[in-house]
Amino acid sequence: MKLIGNILWFFLGGIVLGLSWIIVGLLWCCTIIGIPVGIQCFKMSLLAFWPFGKEVSFSDSTTSVLLNILWIMFSGIELAVTNFVIGVLFCITIIGIPFGKQYFKMAKLSLLPFGAVIS
């Protein structure tokens, strides 16, 4: 079921979402200070391409809190709102609810990506 969900996800919006994470990561990597943020964006792009079967947990550390604040100010709100709106649109139909739930998971990660552990 994960395989079918991931394949459908990839063609129904995952490719656009993953590419948006890659573009944001490339923009962050333009500066030396932004390279750790860009690397995290590349990790999130892999999750955006294939989210089914992946679990996300969060750890609390001072570094992740500071980076999350910086992230929210510059990139997080746009990605989170986009994921949330698309998730609501997918939840209109019964068939789209699993995809909407994945978009909501990505919206949470788009808002606070640092300290997230993907397993």
Q: What is the pLDDT of residues 1-20, one digit of tens each?
A: 789 888 988 988 889 889 98
Dist. CA 34–CA 57, nearest whole Å: 23
With CA atoms as reference, report the closest residue to 13 among 60, 62, 53, 52: 52
Tokens coding 45: 């792009």
Give the residues across from 58 on adjacent strands.
116
Q: Tens of pLDDT along 62-93?
A: 677 888 888 888 888 888 998 899 999 999 99
Q: Tens of pLDDT along 41-64?
A: 898 888 889 888 887 777 766 677
